[in-house]
Amino acid sequence: MSRFRIGSDCLFFCISTFFFVSCASLLPPERRMYPKNPTLPKGMDIHDWMDTKKKQFPNRLQVHSPYGAVYKMMFFRKEKTFLGSYISCSAYIRQIDSKSIEIAEMASIINYSDYTKSVGRYNKGGDLGPMSEKERTEILLPCIEEFLEPPGSKE
C-alpha cells in the first residue's frame, strides 16, 4: 500500500468519526433517571433487595457495588432481538430513604449483547445512555421495567 492510500484512509476515518460523535447527543441526566422511584419491600434494605434480584435473575443480572450502598447493575432481557442479540441495560441503584431506591445513569446496549458470553465481565468502556426519547421509551424503560418485576418463579 502506498503512504497516500494509508494517509487518506486514516483521514477519512478521523473525519467520519468526528461527524458521527458530534451528531449524537445524550439525553440530559434527568431523562436518564427512572421516572418512578421503586419502593423497597417491607423489612428490606437495598442489600437485601439486590440479593433477591440476583436470585431472581441468576443468569441475566450482573451486579457489583462500587460504593457502600450503591450498586451498578447490567441486566439482559429475556427475549432476543431480530438480529439475534439481547437488549441489555445498565444503571446505578442507590437507596434514597428507608423505603425507596433511585435508578440513575440508565444506559442501554443492543448490539452484541449476549449474557451467555459475558458472564462475569463488566463493560469497562463506560456507558453512554439513550440518544433519543424513542430509544429511551422503546428500549431502555422496558428493560428496566423487566428488571423491576417482582420475584415470581426462579429462572
Instruction: Select the highest-mean-pLDDT range: 8-17, 84-93, 116-125, 136-145.
Output: 136-145
**What pLDDT sits at residue 80?**
74
Residue 15 clears pLDDT 50, i.e. is over it: no
List b or e across 7-18, with b for residues whose CB sees 16 or more CB atoms inside 10 angstroms. eeeeeeeeeeee
pLDDT band at 21 (very low <50, low <70, confident <90, very high): very low
Q: Map grid coordinates 456507558 to a residue.
A: 127
Mean pLDDT for 20-34 is: 73
pLDDT tens profile 30-65: 889 999 999 999 999 999 999 999 999 998 999 998
**Distance from C-alpha of 62 to C-alpha of 116, rounded to nearest angstrom:** 12
Higher pLDDT, 120 or 95: 95
Q: What is the pTM of this model?
A: 0.73
Share of the chain above pLDDT 70, in %: 70
Residue tagged 435508578 (cell numbers) = 103
State what percent of residues in the chain have pLDDT above 90.
Answer: 43
pLDDT tens digits, residue range 112-131?
555 555 544 444 445 667 78
